[in-house]
Amino acid sequence: MGNLPGQLFGGAVVLMTPHSRGSVKLASKNPFDAPLIDVGFLTHEFDIAALREGVRIMKRFYSSTLFADYIASPVAPDPDVLGDEAWAEFTKSVAVSTLHGVGTAAMSAKGARTGVVDPDLTVKGVKGLRIVDASVIPFVPSGHSMAHVYILAERAADIIRSCL
């Protein structure tokens, strides 16, 4: 986007429910070795398509007569002109996480091969260890994650209390 003279007006498109999935794995049996982290950022084609549609909606909004006197031209590529592959490359080069990550120790059904914790928040295959934080939320919630963490913590307190 280069050197942009003058004033800018912008907006952001936020992908609230990404389909891309990453992974966190042990690098070795040594607990001091850093884990292998693959964020899997924008690896699902739906995520790229959804962001493209979001930019199209924003483009229509900013193209309205309300903004006619304020916007001379867009500074980002036009999602209706750029080809699919070029759009995907552009999106991956400018997209950022909006924080509040979840799911790095995702909860899954008891006995399921996927996930890190069971519904009672115990770590699969480890006796006496529970995880009670945003990492067990399996999918990104459509909203700030803190409310979900409060609910999770209250539920965890009930679960732990029932085991005493």
pLDDT tens column, 62-97: 889 988 888 877 878 899 999 999 999 999 999 998
Task: Let me know whether 89 and 56 are in one domain.
Answer: yes
Residue type at 152 in one-letter notation: L
In a domain, 112, yes or no: yes
Task: Let me know whether 48 and 111 are in one domain.
Answer: no
Q: What is the domain extent for residue 105?
A: 100-164
Question: Around Cβ 36, how many Cβ atoms within 10 Å?
Answer: 11
Is there a catalytic annotation at residue 100?
A: yes
In a domain, 1, yes or no: no
Give the domain-ending residue among 94, 111, 137: 94
pLDDT at 2: 55
- Distance between CA 66 and CA 141 in Å, rounded? 33
The residue from 19, 44, 100, 148 that is catalytic is: 100
**Helical segments of 6-119, H only:** 45-62, 84-94
pLDDT at 160: 96
Task: Let me know whether 104 and 62 are in one domain.
Answer: no
Task: Let me know whether 79 and 129 are in one domain.
Answer: no
Q: Of 78, 52, 130, 134, which Cα lies nearest the Cα of 101?
A: 134
Average pLDDT, the chain: 91
In a domain, 148, yes or no: yes
CB within 8 Å of 110: residues ≥ 6 apart: 118, 119, 120
**Tokens 């963490």, residue?**
149
pLDDT at 22: 87
Give the domain-ending residue among 94, 116, 151: 94
Question: How many structural domains is the chain composed of?
Answer: 2
Residue-wise pLDDT tens for the chain (164 aa)?
556 566 677 788 999 889 998 888 899 999 999 999 998 999 999 999 999 999 999 999 988 998 888 887 787 889 999 999 999 999 999 999 877 888 889 999 999 999 999 999 999 999 999 999 999 999 888 888 999 999 999 999 999 999 98
Give the domain-ending residue among 61, 94, 127: 94
Q: Longest C-alpha distance within the chain, in Å?
A: 67
In a domain, 117, yes or no: yes
Task: Let me know whether 116 and 71 are in one domain.
Answer: no
**Tokens 């005493």, residue?**
164
pLDDT at 71: 81
Task: Let me know whether 50 and 108 are in one domain.
Answer: no
pLDDT at 84: 94
